Amino acid sequence: MGQTLTGLLTSVRAIAGRPGTPAQGRPGGGPDQAPLAALRLCGDHLSALAAAGPLTDARRTRLIASIGALTTACSTPGADAFDALLRTGQQALDSGGEAEARLALALADEATALRARSKGAWRLRGNALDALGRGEEAITAYERHLALQQNTAASRDVERRIATLRAAGDRIDEALTLFRETARAGTETAGAGPEVSRAAARLSRHLPAAEARAAFTDLVRLRTAEHGAGDPAVRRLAALYAEHRRLSDRDPVADPLLGGAEPIGVPGLRRLVAGRTVCLVADTPRTAEQEQRPGSPLAALIEGYDLVVRCDEARHTAPAARTDLHACTLRGDTPWKGPRWDRRAGARLVFGDPLPYWRLALRSRLVPGAQDRVGDATLRRPLHDPALLGEEAGAGSASTAYTVLRLLDFLGTPARVDLIGFEGPAALSPREREWVGTRTANTDDTAVRITQR
Mean pLDDT score of the chain, rounded to an integer? 82
Q: What's the pLDDT at 129?
A: 94
Report the distance separating Cα 310 and Cα 120, nearest Å. Answer: 41
Strands across the sheet containing 371-375: 262-264, 371-375, 345-351, 325-329, 307-311, 277-281, 416-420, 447-450, 440-443
Q: What's the pLDDT at 27?
A: 44
- Residue range 338-365: mean pLDDT, rounded: 89
pTM, two decimals, is: 0.55
Indicate the pLDDT class of residue 384, thresholds 50, 70 and 90. Answer: confident
Indicate the pLDDT class of residue 450, thresholds 50, 70 and 90. Answer: low
- Residue range 317-341: mean pLDDT, rounded: 89
On the question of a cis peptide bond just before residue 430, with omega within 30 degrees of 0, the verdict is: no
Q: Which residue has the higher pLDDT, 452 or 41?
A: 41
Q: Are residues 403 and 329 in contact, defined by beta-carbon separation less than 8 angstroms?
A: yes
Q: Model confidence over 126-138: pLDDT tens digits?
A: 999 998 999 999 9
* The one-letter amino acid at 31: P
Q: What's the pLDDT at 181?
A: 86
Q: What's the pLDDT at 69?
A: 84
* pLDDT of 395 over the 50 cut: yes
Report the distance separating Cα 88 and Cα 104, nearest Å. Answer: 8
Rounded to an integer, what is the distance from CA 113 to the centroid of its chain?
31
Q: Which residue has the higher pLDDT, 320 or 302?
A: 302
* pLDDT of 81 over the 70 cut: yes
Report the distance separating Cα 412 and Cα 259, nearest Å. Answer: 30
Task: Using alpha carbons, select from 291, 285, 366 the residue that is nearest to residue 323.
Answer: 291
Backbone φ and ψ of 443, nearest 5° = -135, 135
- Residue range 65-87: mean pLDDT, rounded: 82
Residues in a beta bridge with 345: 371
Q: What's the pLDDT at 441?
A: 67
Q: Model confidence over 43-56: pLDDT tens digits?
A: 888 788 777 666 66
Report the distance separating Cα 343 and Cα 212, nearest Å. Answer: 40
Considering only 57-66, 193-202, 387-396, 421-430, which range has the smallest mean pLDDT? Answer: 387-396
Q: Are residues 149 and 155 in contact, defined by beta-carbon separation less than 8 angstroms?
A: yes
Q: Which residue has the higher pLDDT, 253 or 102?
A: 102
* pLDDT of 203 over the 50 cut: yes
Q: What's the pLDDT at 337?
A: 84
Q: What's the pLDDT at 4?
A: 64
* pLDDT of 328 over the 60 cut: yes
Q: What's the pLDDT at 173?
A: 94
* The one-letter amino acid at 315: R
Q: Which residue has the higher pLDDT, 4 or 364?
A: 364
Q: What's the pLDDT at 17?
A: 58
Task: Using alpha carbons, select from 449, 424, 425, 445 the residue that is nearest to residue 437.
Answer: 449
Mean pLDDT is highest, among 125-129, 231-235, 433-437, for 125-129
* 3-state per-residue secondary structure call for the chain: CHHHHHHHHHHHHHHHCCCCCCCCCCCCCCCCHHHHHHHHHHHHHHHHHHHHCCCCCHHHHHHHHHHHHHHHHHHCCCCCHHHHHHHHHHHHHHCCCHHHHHHHHHHHHHHHHHCCCCHHHHHHHHHHHHHCCCHHHHHHHHHHHHHHCCCCHHHHHHHHHHHHHHHHHHHHHHHHHHHHHHHHCCCCCCCCCHHHHHHHHHCCCCCCHHHHHHHHHHHHHHHHHHHCCCCHHHHHHHHHHHHHHHHHHCCCCCHHHHCCCEEECHHHHHHHHCCCEEEEECCCHHHHHHHHCCCCHHHHHHHCCCEEEEECCCCCCCCCCCCCEEEEECCCCCHHHCCCECCCEEEEEEECCCHHHHHHHHHHHECCCCEEEEECHHHCCCCCCCCCCCCCHHHCCCCHHHHHHHHHHHHCCCCEEEEECCCHHHCCCHHHHHHHHCCEEEECCCEEEECCC
* pLDDT of 204 over the 90 cut: yes
* The one-letter amino acid at 87: R
Considering only 110-114, 151-155, 198-202, 215-219, which range has the smallest mean pLDDT? Answer: 151-155
Backbone φ and ψ of 65, nearest 5° = -65, -40
Report the distance separating Cα 265 and Cα 349, nearest Å. Answer: 10
Q: How far is CA 163 from CA 20, 140, 172, 177, 397, in A?
A: 42, 12, 15, 21, 35
